[in-house]
Amino acid sequence: MINFKMNMPFYLMVFYGSIMIAVVLLLRALLRNRLPKFVFPALWSVILLRLLVPFSLSSPFSMKVPAFSSFLTNVWQENERLTIAEDEAVTYNSAENSPSIPSVDAELPVPWTAYESDVIEQTAVAGDSAGLSYFNYFSNRGHFPYRVIIFLYFTGLAVTAGVLLYHKYRCTTRLRDSFLVEHNETINALLREMDMGHILVFTNDEIASPLVCGLISPKIYLPTRMDFSQTELLRHILSHETMHIRRGDNRLKFIMLAALCVHWFNPLVWMMSKYFSSDMEAACDEAVLRRYHDEEAKKSYALSLLAMAVTGNRQTLLYSAFSKTEVERRVKNILRYKKAPVLLLTLSVCLVLCSSVVFATGGQAPFEPRLTSFLSSDSCRFGVRVTLTRGASLGENAERRAEQIIFGIMREDHSDDPDILDGLIRQALSEEFHVEAGAFEADFSLVLDSNERYAEYEKWGIVRTDSQNDMSIQYHGETIRRFSDEMLGHYQSQPGTVDISVIRDRLGYITGITVLHEGDAEYDRRTDEMRQYHW
């Protein structure tokens, strides 16, 4: 089951996008000369989607949300609480006026607990933080550092957009004085032969290499210095430029420019833009070469590229003219081009599809993991809290439905085995919510009342001297200084002469205790630690 939301925070779009770019760069370095050329433009296009669209696809393949994301979310919530308190000047002077809302930071023995009864108590839950936007996080803050970050980001965006728009303006200005080619029968015949007779062709004195310009109605521009009497040269150039139009490369370049503006601070995106343009040209060459079946045609096409090579560097995202060095690389690819076998093409398509699925669903937005409160029942030694491992849409009253299912399992199962309970609970929740069992995680804790607990302790020499005071415990007449029962979550510290740790098996039964006295290394270390902090 895939859960789709438009709630990906910007900082995670940057994080996931950067990982994807690094992965594709690695694949490109290893497999560029072995895979068909269409593979990498397709992968770059998927990354553009991740960089610009805040979608979140949560699936069984999704990774855990990065730890820093949870940190930022917690910081945001804490600052939001402080901001509201400051704005409203709320002061609680007595216990009567204090709000009784459970805090995720509170250290309670059994937080957010629901007990089995006719009515399941519903606990207050913090709002869903999955849709928090990176920009909202900073823009809602009134403090200086956050405003500086926002100012710097939008300044960089504006400068980057301004520089790119300036280059685009210069290119458009040069093309403004172009002349429409209307009566060249060779060009018209070649375009009709390619089923692209509707495309307009212009000549221009200001350009040195053929290019395609235009998003809605792309047009082909040829340098005036070209020898229009060379039919083969024209065929190769028009085949290449019309292939750009068929593939929508100009639109992809425009989207890449938008990604550069939004992610101007990310060097990986700038690297991506360079290789994206190069890979699109290589893919276009390969698509043209599929129409030729002999070596002489390949060599002729390569010579046409060399004839139109441009010296110096060009803004390849604005038009398709290439430097001489880039054309030389393309020529080498053309001369060693061989039609890919069906198996390789099939594997390449599978690589693109599988990579796209992994890239799209691997990263998910922050989500509210809590599904149930801590649940305990008189019929079971263990209490349980169930959380989600990924974002999932569970429908209405999900918490209440889940708690009723869990209480039913606790009543019917008498094994008191957390492993058995875990399997039963996850399977039942999976069937109820139509989500894979792995989407649920059950956290078990041993639950014993005070009388049961001390009845077990007494068998090991641990007793209370005062039945009303849990701090008054001794071990064979010695006052216990530090006491810990990890599985039960029972810890306490007081002046005494002996340290006790209770050891339990996975079913929660005591199998032994650890006793430390003065002179034992661990006991003395703890003593030094207590003195250091003046305990």
pLDDT digits (tens, 9 = 90+) for 436-479: 999 999 999 898 888 888 899 999 999 988 777 767 889 998 99
Please state, rounded to an integer, the average pLDDT across all residues of the chain.
Answer: 80
Is the distance from CB of 244 to CB of 213 less than 8 angstroms? no
Q: Where are the domains of the chain?
A: 145-338, 374-446, 450-532
pLDDT at residue 352 greater than cutoff 80: yes
Give me 360's structure tokens.
Answer: 């799209």
Q: pLDDT tens, 386-396?
A: 999 998 889 89
More confident of the two residues 292 and 456: 456
- Identity (one letter) of the amino acid at 266? N
pLDDT of residue 137: 46
pLDDT at residue 80 greater than cutoff 70: no
Residue closest to 135 by CA, chosen among 154, 115, 122: 154
pLDDT at residue 24 greater than cutoff 60: yes
pLDDT at residue 306 greater than cutoff 80: no
Could you give the 3-state DSSP secondary structure of residue 503?
strand
pLDDT of residue 97: 41
pLDDT of residue 312: 43
pLDDT of residue 490: 85
Q: pLDDT tens, 215-258?
A: 888 999 998 888 888 888 898 889 989 999 999 998 999 999 99
pLDDT at residue 324 greater than cutoff 70: no
Q: pLDDT tens, 188-226?
A: 999 999 999 899 999 998 887 888 888 888 999 998 888
pLDDT of residue 114: 54
More confident of the two residues 12 and 129: 12
Distance CA 97, CA 453 (A): 36
pLDDT at residue 77 greater than cutoff 70: no
Distance CA 395, CA 402 (A): 11
More confident of the two residues 298 and 232: 232
pLDDT of residue 105: 35
pLDDT of residue 522: 92
* Average pLDDT over every residue of 126-136: 42
pLDDT of residue 132: 43
Where do we find the tokens 């409203």? Answer: 88
Distance CA 147, CA 153 (A): 10
pLDDT of residue 366: 86
Distance CA 250, CA 466 (A): 83
* Average pLDDT over every residue of 46-60: 91
Other Cβ atoms closer than 10 A to 69: 19
* Average pLDDT over every residue of 106-134: 40
More confident of the two residues 519 and 340: 519
Question: Using 50, 70 and 90 to split pLDDT, how confident is the model at 72?
Answer: low
pLDDT at residue 514 greater than cutoff 70: yes
pLDDT of residue 100: 36
Taking each continuous run of H as one helix and of E as one strand, the counts in the chain are 16, 16
- Give me the DSSP letters along 34-103: TS-TTHHHHHHHHHHHHHH---EEE-TTPPPPPHHHHHHHHHHHHHHHHHHHHHHT----SGGGS-----
Q: Is this prediction's pTM over 0.85? A: no
Question: Using 50, 70 and 90 to split pLDDT, how confident is the model at 336?
Answer: low
pLDDT at residue 126 greater than cutoff 70: no
